[in-house]
Amino acid sequence: MEFNVAIVGYTAGVCSAICQFPQAYKVFKTKDTHSISLGMYLTMTIGVILWFTYGVLIEDMPMMLANGVGLVPCLYTLYLTIQNRRAHKTYGK
Amino acid sequence: MEFNVAIVGYTAGVCSAICQFPQAYKVFKTKDTHSISLGMYLTMTIGVILWFTYGVLIEDMPMMLANGVGLVPCLYTLYLTIQNRRAHKTYGK
């Protein structure tokens, strides 16, 4: 595979891995999940878990790493969104 | 590739493609982006564009489809989040 094509793939992987951190940080700071879609976070978390599993099955380290790293903040945001829905407390309002 | 391994990959792709729609719908309905991280949406949108480009470069149709489909609601949510930040109007408060 040409070098620049691989660069596009790896950069995409880095973006996908790190994109969850700013949202998890914002939710951690504000405890406000009011405008976050629970449907999105459920589907996305399942997707990240499946991509991680797929990476393990096809022994693709970058895929395992990107999704393994991204799963942690994803689960945190999902957890807090579920907590808030249950408690109907919209922090930071 | 074994059939069930491919199933894991395709299901992951479907989750990644559709997960953006519930968030875009919620933002469309409430116009409230207060708890959404602009940092996440910028990074995620760049990631989806790069995955789409990577799919084109390696001629991988599922990757093109999943990211092409997911890009539309992603851009909408990003657009509205930027609009709200600019206008400092937090709808639905």
For residue A89, the model assigns a pLDDT of 56
Domain limits, chain A: 31-87
Question: A15 pLDDT exceeds 50?
Answer: yes
| Of residues B11, B14, B50, nearest to A12 (C-beta) | B50
Of the candidates A22, A8, A2, the residue with the CA atom closest to the CA atom of residue B54: A8
Contact A78, A20 (CB under 8 A): no
pLDDT at A18: 94
Q: What angle do CA B56, A15, B60 make, to 5 degrees?
A: 20
Q: What letter represents residue B4's amino acid?
A: N
As its CATH architecture, domain A31-87 has Up-down Bundle (1.20)
Do residue A35 and residue B33 have CB atoms under 8 angstroms apart? yes
Q: For residues A37-65, give the mean pLDDT.
A: 92
Amino acid at A4: N
How far apart are the C-alpha atoms of B71 and B87, rounded to whole Å? 24
Nearest CA in chain B to A15: B47
User: Which numeric CATH code is attached to B31-88?
Assistant: 1.20.1280.290
The 8-class DSSP code of residue A58 comes to: T
Show the CA angle centred on residue B57, arms to residues A71 and A69, nearest 5°: 10
Question: Which of A20, A37, A53 lies nearest to residue B40, judging by beta carbons?
Answer: A20
* Closest CA relative to residue B27, chosen from B67, B70, B76, B72: B76
Interface test with B, best of A4, A40, A46 (most B CBs within 10 A): A40
pLDDT confidence of residue B1: 61
Interface test with B, best of A11, A31, A37 (most B CBs within 10 A): A37
Burial of A75 (0-12, 13-18, 19+ CB in 10 A): middle
Provide φ and ψ at A3, rounded to 5°: -60, -50
Instruction: Give the model confidence (pLDDT) of B18-73 as tens digits.
Output: 999 999 999 999 999 999 999 999 999 999 999 999 999 988 887 888 899 999 99
Cβ atoms A41, A77 nearer than 8 A? yes
A16 contact B CB<8A = yes
Determine if residue B59 is left, alpha or beta; phi over 0 gives left, psi from -120 to 50 gives alpha, anything else beta.
Answer: left
ipTM score above 0.85: no
Q: Do B92 and A32 lie within an 8 Å CB cutoff? A: no
Cα–Cα distance between B33 and B83 in angstroms, integer? 10
Q: What is the mean pLDDT of chain A?
A: 89
Residue B82 has a pLDDT of: 95
How far apart, in Å, are the Cα atoms of A47 and each of A9, A10, A29, B93?
A: 18, 19, 26, 31
Residues of chain A with Cβ-Cβ distance to B55 below 8 Å are none
Question: CB distance from B47 to chain A under 8 Å?
Answer: yes
Encoding tokens for residue B24?
């875009």
